[in-house]
Structure 1
Amino acid sequence: MSVVIDYFYTHISPWAYLGHNAFIELAQKHDVTVRARPVDLSGVFASSGGLPLGKRHPARQAYRFVEMQRWRDKRNVPLTMKPAFFPTPPALPDCCAIALAEAGKDALAFSASVFKAIWADDKNIAEEPVLAECLADLGHEPAAILKAAQSDEIKGIYTANQEQAVHQGLIGSPTYVLNGEPFWGQDRLEILEDALISKRGPYHPL
């Protein structure tokens, strides 16, 4: 039976973007099943004491740009440091990914396209035409997926993902959960891989 990792992320997160392709490669390398769980960070921050970017101390905001440049170069991916449409509401693209996953389609490929749209191509991922283009390029029927994304069923799953993230004590995006153990941040992928290789049991808070 394949190992399963729950992948909590939102498309508005540069860190999720920076680690997305590396995570997919890691999952494929180790025959891991990934469950995409796009999540609304507002409730996660409220629960964990985190602050949205605009409310953080200027020193933290400045250091964020230093880290973004480091990881852009490390991951060798294009990255717009100050996207034209940031912040923008991520709920619709997040829910499109959920709708694709629920339909048994490749949500992760869609997420890669959406990440590129905002973080490399300066597009507004809150706009339906932008998402429709991402969907069409991957061979999906945009109207059907966009309609599903706005349904009560998919919105309910989005809410449930947030509730699950809060229940598990998660604090940000991306978080990869293996056997109940959270690995927060794309800079933890190497440690996540170590856990997969060693097959050790999960670590828990003391």
Structure 2
Amino acid sequence: MARQIDYYFSLQSPWAYIGHKPFTRLVSIYDLKVNYRPVLLVDLFSETGGLPLAKRHPVRQRYRLIELQRWRDKRGLNFHLQPANWPFNGRLADGVVIAMLEAGLDPEPFLQRAYPAVWELELNLADPATLVKLADDAGLPGRQLMERSGSDAISAAYEQNRQNALDAGVFGSPGYVLDGEVFWGQDRIELLEDALKSGRKPYSSVVEGPESG
């Protein structure tokens, strides 16, 4: 039976974009089943003590730009550090992914277009027409998915993903959960691969005391 990974992400996350190709490589190599879980980042940050980018200290904002350049080189990507249509409200784009999952469709062809659409092509993923075209180009029913994305049912699923993330100990995007162990951030992908390769038991935050005797 294939091992499963819960993949928490938002299309507005640069780190999810940067890590997506190496993540899909692991999925292929280790024949993993991926449970895609788009999640609302703003609420997740606030509930777990994080700050939105605009509210972070300037020192942290400047360091983030350095890190983006480092990882752009490391992952062999070519993207804008401050794309024209970012930040954007990710609800609609993430909802399209949830609508795909609801319909039993594979979201991967869409994700492989949507991530670079933001960071490389500077498209607006809050624009319904843009989302429809990206889905159509991926061979998916864009108009149908777009209409479903705004529904109450998709909003409820989006909220459930947020609650599931909190319950799992996930507090940012991307979050990869393997056997209950959280790997936060695309810079943990190599550690995720180590865990897959070794087959070790998951680490826990529960620290056992010294053995008696």
> Secondary structure, in 3 states, of the residue corresponding to 2:101?
helix
Question: Greater shift after overlay, 61-70 or 142-151?
Answer: 142-151
Q: What is aligned with 1:106?
A: 106
Checking the alignment, whether the CA contact within 8 Å between 1:7 and 1:37 is kept in structure 2 is: yes
Poorly superposed stretches of 4+, deviation over 4 Å: none
Q: What is aligned with 1:59?
A: 59
Larger radius of gyration, structure 1 or 2?
Answer: 2
Q: What is aligned with 1:22?
A: 22
Q: Distance in 1 between matches of 2:30 and 2:55?
A: 39
- Once the 2 structures are TM-superposed, how far is the Cα of residue 113 of structure 1 from its aligned partner? 1.1
> Secondary structure, in 3 states, of the residue corresponding to 1:203?
coil
Quick check: 1:89 aligned with 2:89? yes
For residue 129 of structure 1, what is the amino acid of its counterpart? A
Alignment size in residue pairs: 206
Q: Distance in 2 between matches of 1:144 and 1:9?
A: 23
Q: What is aligned with 2:190?
A: 190
Q: Distance in 2 between matches of 1:66 and 1:34?
A: 31
- Once the 2 structures are TM-superposed, how far is the Cα of residue 60 of structure 1 from its aligned partner? 0.6
For residue 160 of structure 2, what is the amino acid of its counterpart? A
> Secondary structure, in 3 states, of the residue corresponding to 1:37?
strand
Q: What is aligned with 1:173?
A: 173
TM-score by length of 2: 0.94
For residue 47 of structure 2, what is the amino acid of its counterpart? S
Describe the superposition over 1:33-79 as per-residue Cα deviations: whole angstroms up to 9, x where unpaired: 11110000122112210000000010110011111011111111221
What stretches of structure 1 of length at least 5 have no aligned partner? Answer: none
- Once the 2 structures are TM-superposed, how far is the Cα of residue 105 of structure 1 from its aligned partner? 1.4
**Percent identity between the two aligned chains:** 44
Q: Distance in 2 between matches of 1:101 and 1:70?
A: 33
Q: What is aligned with 2:157?
A: 157
What stretches of structure 2 of length at least 5 have no aligned partner? Answer: 207-213
Checking the alignment, whether the CA contact within 8 Å between 1:97 and 1:108 is kept in structure 2 is: no
Q: What is aligned with 2:48?
A: 48
Q: What is aligned with 2:209?
A: none
The root-mean-square deviation of aligned C-alpha atoms, in Å, is 0.9
Describe the superposition over 1:77-99 as per-residue Cα deviations: whole angstroms up to 9, x where unpaired: 22111111111100111011111
Checking the alignment, whether the CA contact within 8 Å between 1:6 and 1:37 is kept in structure 2 is: yes
> Secondary structure, in 3 states, of the residue corresponding to 2:37?
strand
Q: Distance in 1 between matches of 2:102 and 2:56?
A: 35
Q: Distance in 2 between matches of 1:201 and 1:148?
A: 40
- Once the 2 structures are TM-superposed, how far is the Cα of residue 160 of structure 1 from its aligned partner? 0.2
Quick check: 1:201 aligned with 2:201? yes
> Secondary structure, in 3 states, of the residue corresponding to 2:134?
helix
Q: Distance in 2 between matches of 1:71 and 1:108?
A: 22
Q: What is aligned with 1:3?
A: 3
Q: Distance in 2 between matches of 1:86 and 1:9?
A: 16
